[in-house]
Amino acid sequence: MTKYVYDFHEGNATMRALLGGKGSNLAEMTGLGLPVPSGFTISTQACMEYLANGEQLTEEMIQQIETYLARLEAETGKSFSKGDNLLLVSVRSGAAQSMPGMMDTILNLGLNDVNVERFATLTGNPQFAYDCYRRLLHMFGNVVYEINGSHFERFLTNYKETHQRENDQALTVDDLKVIVAAYKGIYKKIGQKEFPQDPKTQLFEAIRAVFSSWNNERAFVYRNLNDMSHQGGTAVNVQEMVFGNSGQNSGTGVAFTRNPSTGENKIFGEYLLNAQGEDVVAGIRTPLPVSTLSEVMPDVYAEFIRVANLLEDHYRDMQDIEFTIENGKLFMLQTRSGKRTAKAAFKIAVDLVNEGKATKDEALMQINPKSVDQLLHPTFNPVALKIADLITDIGLPASPGAATGNIYFDANAAKAAVQAGEKVILVRQETSPEDITGMSISEAVVTSRGGMTSHAAVVARGMGVCCVVGCEQINIDEDNRRVSYPGGQLEEGTIISVDGTNGAIYLGDVEKMPTEADESFQTIMAWARERSHLKVRMNAETVEDIKTGLAFEADGIGLVRTEHMFFKEERLREMRRFILSNRAQEQNRALSAILNYQIDDFVNIFSLTQDKPVVIRLLDPPLHEFMPHTKQEITHVAEQLGTTYAELQQRVIDLTEVNPMLGHRGVRLAVTYPNLYLMQAEAIIRAAVQVNTATFQVKPEIMIPLVGMKEELALLRQQIEKHIEELLKELGVTVEYTIGTMIELPRACLIADQLVDYADFFSFGTNDLTQMTFGFSRDDAGKYINQYISEAILPIDPFQTLDVEGVGELVKIATEKARQKQADFKLGVCGELGGDPNSIEFFHQIGLNYVSCSPYRIPIAQIAAAQSAIKYATM
């Protein structure tokens, strides 16, 4: 028999998955001997089975709930229907992870037309009893029958106005009786239902409603937005009511044990006297600072402070507490880890350690890695956002930040505007390498197509430029230089504000709040680096990016994308000359020219990275990416290279591929044009020789991309080694270089043990590996991937967070095969997932040596790496 129900004595804080956050903490507080009203929790497992069972409670669940209800009646000496002492309960949802979208609460359950009178007699306070009944009708109708709360509110407001009652407290018993009758009328008229008079029926309907709410749209969207699984379910907590609204000696409040905005170590909270539940949050009456309670009820305040400190000490973290005072007695209704700003999070974490209240590990675990972005990028003022004109809020948040500027539709227009002193936002359907300069000078980049790993997203993230991609609601007409969106049109030059942290775009200039990395941040990051097993490298090739990464103490470079270097004007010309030529001599002349540029590139990199390892990926993209495509460009390039339009056009056509992602690129290019990689290898070695000093030796790690067969790697390794050895002999020096490969094809994973024989290291290229494993083209997936996520066909976007079952399984297979062959074989990740906390946890678990990500994600990765080390050390 499955146990579906637990009373508060049976649970504890470790049972969060089964009992939800609220239930497990109520049980934990009960265990600590704190004043918690009695109750029981119906498990998340019951919820999932209820949902799988066509939204029906099973016989077994019903029986267990009945049993625990009887126990609750016995424990409290109260009863739903019999005897003198009336049992009223609250029913609240509580999932394992806090989830605002679904948090439905019903108070005062158990009241009905008869019980309300008994309750009036019992409390000697008919006004209080009818107020409770009125509240129950409102909440129950709203939560269980989905009657919009405004129907009740409107009637109440109206009534108070027409009867000149200043506030709720001013309502008389007779008023409340009229209101109760009217509310029941709303049930019939709007809900087409009667309010159930039987308390048990109320209870079971409330439980069903909470369980069903797991799948309501708000909850669903919330989980999607927060990368949460749809498989957890919510628990239901049934708890004896205590009444903060039973007079002036009662009240209710919420408090944080420290300031959640600044992190200051000072209790922070609010309360209302003679009020119940949601009144504090609802904002109808203005609550008082919790500190004033010390004057109103000094004993209660002292007890509250004692409990708050005890809870913070016990949980070793800042707590968010809900409490109620019933006739001068304090009751704890909830405690949980308090939400906080990133700034506060770092300060609290450091303070707790300094106060001896938490260990460094515990402090590190309190930091949400994703919140680090907030610290490093400005954010919009939330107050200003409330009144801002929204253009769209369903773009993909590709690169965090808050930016404002005038929109321009191409890189040249953007450049001109910047020269004229404007701040610009580059708006394009999608970006290509030719837009890079334009992107780098923009405040933000917005595209209507592409996903989180599209060109725009990857490049902007690398640059730290705010970016929103895949804004499908907006239509970008580049030809007519106009954007249309559901609410209107934007001409070139219009000012917009872009929130790269959540994917929203606003009209006009929205006020921003600066944020900065402070001492707490530095302390936490140092602890994180100390604690991690995984090293964190950067994906970078520009001086600016590398400096950023080094400032975050990156452990070297995990990916230099050499193709970016080929798009500069003069190299592009030589590269095109190389591609066009059929004669070895002419090809070699072009390569010699590029060689010199490449040496400079690598000298620039090595001079910064010094003795840190640097993985350099040899040329990867298909050749047609280097070719001109428009008629105008072809004409220009043909002139430049001294060839005919027809010949150049023919070569462009020859190079065109049906599926370039699966085309003639990576190592396949090198098999066809061996000199290409030899030139790059030579440049790397010559640069290393140039930069090496007596005090440090640079450590280039040469990486061959897109290998699928050991024969490819064997061939290229042999060619490159031979070329380098001859070169070093000629130069009479040595360089500590290694040669490895990128693992980005499913086949490479399956034969990883064979590849080990020819590689000094592997770096998993999770972008391409995800594309091949799913058969998704990241350039095209935008057409259906959002639908897949919103319909829960995909739990996550696999380009943002590792798909553990598919792509992860291949990474695991490769890791096991490689390490079986060579136990200490060096393994890293250089895809975009290298900066994603969930993915990092997986990479830690399977024992990779490092992850590599764009410079601005390094702190996130460092925190995630430390948390993984902590998590799996204690398991």
Strand spans (E) along 284-401: 288-289, 319-326, 329-337, 379-380, 389-392, 396-399
Query: By CB neighbour count within 10 A (0-12 exposed, 13-18 middle, 19+ buried), where does 32 fall?
Result: middle
Residues 6+ apart with CB under 8 A from 487: 389, 390, 391
Query: By CB neighbour count within 10 A (0-12 exposed, 13-18 middle, 19+ buried), where does 115 fall?
Result: buried
| Residue nearer to its own copies on the CB measure, 59 or 805 | 805
455 counts as catalytic: yes
507: phi then psi, degrees, rounded to nearest 5: -80, 140
Residues 6+ apart with CB under 8 A from 283: none
Would you state the structure tokens that stand for residue 753, as one six-digit string? 């043990």
Q: Could you tell me the smallest distance in angstroms from the CB atom of residue 784 to its own copies?
A: 5
| Residue nearer to its own copies on the CB measure, 702 or 752 | 752
How many beta carbons lie within 10 A of that of residue 633, not counting itself?
Answer: 14
How many beta carbons lie within 10 A of that of residue 395, not counting itself?
Answer: 25
How many beta carbons lie within 10 A of that of residue 409, not counting itself?
Answer: 20
Residue of 466, 830, 844, 853 with catalytic role: 830
Residues lying near its own copies in the complex (CB under 8 A) are found at 657-664, 668, 671-672, 706, 708-709, 711-712, 715, 744-747, 750-751, 754, 768, 771-777, 779-781, 783-784, 787-788, 791-794, 803, 805-807, 809-810
CB 270 within 8 A of CB 253: yes
| Residue nearer to its own copies on the CB measure, 295 or 805 | 805
853 counts as catalytic: no
| Residue nearer to its own copies on the CB measure, 731 or 792 | 792
| Residue nearer to its own copies on the CB measure, 441 or 655 | 655
Question: In 3-state terms, what secondary structure has residue 659?
Answer: coil
| Residue nearer to its own copies on the CB measure, 597 or 673 | 673
| Residue nearer to its own copies on the CB measure, 103 or 655 | 655
Q: Could you tell me the smallest distance in angstroms from the CB atom of residue 452 to its own copies?
A: 16
Q: Could you tell me the smallest distance in angstroms from the CB atom of residue 750 to its own copies?
A: 5
Q: Could you tell me the smallest distance in angstroms from the CB atom of residue 544 to its own copies?
A: 29
Q: Could you tell me the smallest distance in angstroms from the CB atom of residue 745 to its own copies?
A: 4
Q: Which residue has the tokens 């309502």?
A: 171
How many beta carbons lie within 10 A of that of residue 593, not counting itself?
Answer: 18
Would you state the structure tokens that stand for residue 574, as one six-digit string? 């030589």
| Residue nearer to its own copies on the CB measure, 94 or 795 | 795
Q: Which residue has the tokens 């490895």?
A: 740
Q: Could you tell me the smallest distance in angstroms from the CB atom of residue 788 to its own copies?
A: 7
Q: Could you tell me the smallest distance in angstroms from the CB atom of residue 328 to its own copies?
A: 54
Question: In 3-state terms, what secondary structure has residue 720?
Answer: helix
Q: Could you tell me the smallest distance in angstroms from the CB atom of residue 771 to its own copies?
A: 6
| Residue nearer to its own copies on the CB measure, 377 or 455 | 455
Burial letters 259-298, b for 16+ CB under 10 A, else e: bbeebebebbbbbbbbbbbebbeeeeeebbebeebeeebe
How many beta carbons lie within 10 A of that of residue 640, not counting itself?
Answer: 14
State in Å, rounded, how far the first CA of the chain is from the last one.
29
- Helices 519-531 and 342-354: crossing angle, nearest 10°? 70
Residue of 455, 624, 723, 844 with catalytic role: 455
Q: Could you tell me the smallest distance in angstroms from the CB atom of residue 872 to its own copies?
A: 23
Query: Mind telling me the catalytic residues?
Result: 455, 830
